[in-house]
Amino acid sequence: MIMILLGQIAELVNGELVGDPQGVISGAGPLEKAVEGQITFAEKGLGLKRVAESKATAVIVPRGVSFPDVNLIQVDNPRLAFAQALLMIYPPPQPGEHLHPTAVIGDKCTIGKNVAIAAGVVLGDKVTVGDRVVLHPNVVIGNDVVIGADTLIYPNVSVLERCRIGCRVIIHAGTVIGSDGFGFVFDQGRYFKMPQVGIVQIDDDVEIGANNTIDRATMGKTWLKTGIKTDNLVHIAHNVTIGEHSVITGHVGIAGSTTIGRHAVIAGQAGIGGHLTLGNQVTVGPQCAVAQSVPDKQVVSSTTLAMPHGTWLRLQKVLPQLPDLYKKIKTLEKQVAQRRTKK
């Protein structure tokens, strides 16, 4: 069990400690359930009102917040500071250099220092693996793939031929990188497969959720730029480009040749059509079907076709009234018809 002093945590998170710097922390928990020896956080609203009731040894709070008889670490961003503290209290395992005897290593591979390769891993020919990479069981890496330093790939991931993975990338279990894009030519009642000869490029500091499918480009590359985070069960089709530090949540599907700008947020079950451009800082609401391009900084939402968010909010007020409005219209139509008959 790791034990850390409150003073050390405050220094790590660049916070101001109000309380005992010698307080010992050995774990963490949610505000309402944390106990002695644990640290927690509160950032606003009801959470801050409950700080005085917490049994935690210390609470991370916004700067300027104070409670008597409570050890506090005051910071600019409590949630971020708590995440940093968690890494200190629960450091990720460091497997060190290891090559399991059941791993299969192809010809002319280049493997860096302190690389861990687990049971059942298969590396094709001419694979390049950077320093401190961890490959969990049954990972399959195709020919000519390049994987940057400090990348972590969980079990049953496939990275297929010629794809490029940056540094400090995390790929969760079951994901496939570089599967063929869905490209076919219809001729005389049959579909002819369009060869998919491009690659997938994933830049540094990207995290890919479990069971994602990211298709290789027909030609050129499908490109996920620096800092992107995807949730589980996301499908990114061929020749899609997604800008820096965008977030793609669960069950999103992005059709081929669409470009999404930086700092975009795509909510759950949204479907993005093909050959579109979504600008920088665009937000797409859940279950939204985007069938046209969206300019910078726009928020679109709908469970049908995308529309300006303000329009969608106004529509929500009208929808419950539609049955009554329909009755009134039918009544008015009947009255008009009767008047015409009398004339």
Q: Which of 136, 172, 235, 238 is catalytic?
A: 238
Q: Is 136 considered catalytic here?
A: no
Residue 4 burial (CB < 10 Å; 0-12/13-18/19+)? middle
Q: What is the CA radius of gyration of the chain?
A: 27
Residue 134 lies in a domain: no
The domain boundary, picked from 47, 71, 89, lies at 89
Task: For the chain, give the mean pLDDT.
Answer: 95
Whether 170 and 296 share a structural domain: yes
pLDDT of residue 341: 82
pLDDT of residue 343: 66
**What's the DSSP call for residue 216?**
P
Sign, CA torsion 91/97/103/106: positive
Whether 281 and 235 share a structural domain: yes
Whether 242 and 341 share a structural domain: no
The domain boundary, picked from 58, 89, 120, lies at 89
In the beta sheet, which residues pair with residue 254? Answer: 236, 272
pLDDT of residue 1: 64
Task: Provide the domain limits for residue 320.
Answer: 315-343
| CA–CA distances in Å: residue 329 to residues 317, 325, 334 | 18, 6, 9
Residue 47 lies in a domain: yes
Whether 258 and 337 share a structural domain: no
Whether 249 and 325 share a structural domain: no
Whether 208 and 192 share a structural domain: yes
Residue 229 lies in a domain: yes
With pLDDT > 70 as the criterion, what percentage of the chain qualifies? 99
Report which secondary-structure segment, H or E, holds 58.
strand 58-62
CA separation for the pair 132, 168 (Å, rounded):
10
In sequence order, what are the residues at sequence separation of 6 or more whose Cβ sits closer than 8 angstroms to the Cβ of residue 257? 237, 238, 239, 240, 274, 275
In the beta sheet, which residues pair with residue 229? Answer: 207, 247
Question: pLDDT for 105-146, tens place per residue?
Answer: 999 999 999 999 999 999 999 999 999 999 999 999 999 999
Residue 94 lies in a domain: no
Whether 216 and 334 share a structural domain: no
Cβ pair 303, 321 in contact under 8 A:
no
Question: pLDDT for 64-100, tens place per residue?
Answer: 999 999 999 999 999 999 999 999 999 988 888 999 9
CA separation for the pair 82, 91 (Å, rounded):
13
CATH value at residue 79? 3.40.1390.10
Beta strands per DSSP E along 66-165:
72-75, 98-99, 104-105, 110-111, 116-117, 122-123, 128-129, 134-135, 140-141, 146-147, 152-153, 158-159, 164-165
Amino acid at 19: G
pLDDT of residue 303: 79
Whether 82 and 224 share a structural domain: no
* Residue-by-residue pLDDT tens, the chain, 343 positions: 689 999 999 999 999 999 999 999 999 999 999 999 999 999 999 999 999 999 999 999 999 999 999 999 999 999 999 999 999 999 988 888 999 999 999 999 999 999 999 999 999 999 999 999 999 999 999 999 999 999 999 999 999 999 999 999 999 999 999 999 999 999 999 999 999 999 999 999 999 999 999 999 999 999 999 999 999 999 999 999 999 999 999 999 999 999 999 999 999 999 999 999 999 999 999 999 999 999 999 999 987 778 898 888 888 888 889 999 999 999 999 999 988 887 6
Q: How many domains does the chain have?
A: 3
CATH value at residue 171? 2.160.10.10
Whether 284 and 328 share a structural domain: no
In sequence order, what are the residues at sequence separation of 6 or more whose Cβ sits closer than 8 angstroms to the Cβ of residue 220? 198, 239
Whether 177 and 258 share a structural domain: yes
CA separation for the pair 39, 83 (Å, rounded):
11
Cβ pair 235, 224 in contact under 8 A:
no
